[in-house]
Chain A
């Protein structure tokens, strides 16, 4: 079975641009979460979606938005990119809400210049 997949693997953008990151959860998983990991730090929670509804939002500005599609895949959008948005963006899926192990994808490495 395929694990969590993310695309693209790497991305280079300039300040002010917009970016869309994509995630496909493990088959059968209905919940997707997004995390930002800056080098040398632990992942920071951005969003969680379950059954296409937002179920949690971290302390990130409104430039960050996300959505989940009927097939449970998800997109993370970041507008007006800043240098500080350079990070590894991780997607994680769980079958349901609750205390389940989160399965992480390989991440998208975003570099903002």
Chain B
């Protein structure tokens, strides 16, 4: 089975850097996804990691360590519009579904 853990809530200041962690216990997966979800809206894709290491995409970066069962999403130069929930998800090997964590609600203040 899969068990994905994320902090429930985080707060940060505009312009700062924040790291949202995701730990998982799973028997195997192909890739790890990060999605952003604003309140009342659909999740939108942020990043995908299949190999260990850091993937950078503008202000957002995502890191994966399979040996440690750990991923993080790094958000730089925070903006007010980054206030949202951030969802970590894996696609278990042999399955097409995504298994999501409960999400981390990020609140960015001025």
Binding site for B on A (CB under 8 A): 4, 31, 33, 35, 40-45, 48, 50, 55-56, 58, 90, 97-99, 101-107
Contact = CB atoms under 8 A, between A and B. Distances in A.
A109 B43 CA distance: 14
Contact of B97 (A41, A58, A90): A58
Contacts of A101: 33, 45, 48
Contact of B42 (A41, A99, A104): A104
Contacts of B44: 104
B42 A31 contact: no
Contacts of B91: 99
5 contacts: A31-B96, A42-B87, A45-B97, A56-B95, A102-B45
A99 B103 contact: no
Interface size class of B (residues with CB under 8 A): 20 to 34
Contact of B100 (A44, A56, A97, A99): A44
Contacts of A106: 41-42
Contacts of A48: 96-97
